[in-house]
Amino acid sequence: MKEKIVKIIARLFRKSPHFRGKYRIGKFIQKLFIKKNNWLKPDFFIQLKNKSKLFIDIRSNTHSIPFWTGMRDDEVIHLIIKNLTPNSVVLDIGANIGYYTIPIAKRMADLNGCIHAFEPVKENYYSLQKAVEKNEVEKYVVLNKFALGDYNGNIEIVKTEKGKSSNAVLSFNDTNYDKEHTKETIEIKMLDDYINKLNRCDFIKVDIEGAEYFLIKGGATFIEKYKPVIYGEFNAFFLRKFGYTLLDIWKILAPMGYEAYVEDRIKKGKFIKTEVKENLIDVLFLPTNKTETKKWITH
């Protein structure tokens, strides 16, 4: 009964206009009724404001945000969808449970395009599969259960959240996580080896917990050929865990003719040109030699 009450309240929260402190209030309400790990049925579908239906695990701190707010990177997703063209091809690298994959796939239905989603973690992949089926977008999504890096083989990862969806996954061995978190061996491939499966690539979204350098390094030929717009979360802390910074990624992209942009702090969804620094996180890389990419910053 308590779970049902919390779900009803959360559904009303998701439908209501956004206001400051919504998530914090929602979490407080949730704690009044039920503790985080005491859910009898912690995994279920929710519908976000953008109409995407996602399969979440409420025990995940990451999932609890859209559970209460109904949102996840809405401004950026809107920008991506707005700038897609007929027959567009998108790569969602680090697709998780489908935050980007599902709304973009829905748009692809009108554009006869396709999104290739890469998610190696079994729990996340399971949730992503269920979301693709629930939203009836199978025709527009290619699911790939492997990671992308700078070699072909296997790698051991550490899962930093418990439950049926492991969201904050660290792709490195760190003894600080050995006792409290589980590990999984996943397959890893190079993006350059994926090049023969496509005849174009318009956009790449990447969020792989600091392993972005290896993705770019192993996909340099692919990126050089198609010059896709690239948007990613480049967490400086996780990048340093691998011995790299955003500047190392920039050394690969800059010679290809890319420029860097960050989201305007005042106007969400609007990006402004910036100098690349180590501490930048959410960065949009635009190829300067493609005139159609200007629309990403002139809206």
Q: Which of 123-137, 172-186, 248-262 is the least confident region?
A: 172-186
Closest CA to 205 of 64, 76, 86: 76
Residues 137 and 168 in one domain: yes
Tokens matching residue 188: 């890893």
Question: Mean of the pLDDT values across residues 11-40?
Answer: 92
Whether the predicted pLDDT of 264 surpasses 70:
yes
The domain of 42 spans 2-69
Give the per-residue pLDDT at 171.
Answer: 47
Residues 143 and 36 in one domain: no
Of the residues 45, 69, 93, the one at which a domain ends: 69
Residues 190 and 210 in one domain: yes
Is 0.85 topped by the overall pTM?
A: yes
| Dist. CA 65–CA 56, nearest whole Å | 11
| Dist. CA 151–CA 119, nearest whole Å | 17
Within 10 angstroms of residue 219's Cβ, the number of other Cβ atoms is: 29
**How many domains does the structure of the chain reveal?**
2
pLDDT tens, residue by residue, 125-175: 999 999 999 999 999 999 999 999 999 999 888 877 655 555 444 545 455
Residues 33 and 111 in one domain: no
Residues 194 and 157 in one domain: yes
Residues 15 and 139 in one domain: no
Residues 88 and 160 in one domain: yes
Residues 60 and 78 in one domain: no
- Listing DSSP states for 157-168 in one string gives EEE-S-SS---S
3 state DSSP class of 8: helix
Closest CA to 119 of 141, 88, 148: 148
Residues 21 and 116 in one domain: no
Q: Positive or negative, the Cα torsion across 52, 263, 283, 114?
A: positive
Closest CA to 141 of 100, 199, 169: 100
Residues 225 and 112 in one domain: yes
Of the residues 38, 69, 100, the one at which a domain ends: 69
CATH of the domain at 87: 3.40.50.150
Residues 85 and 230 in one domain: yes
CB 14 within 8 A of CB 46: yes
Of the residues 10, 34, 69, the one at which a domain ends: 69
3 state DSSP class of 66: helix
Residues 196 and 130 in one domain: yes
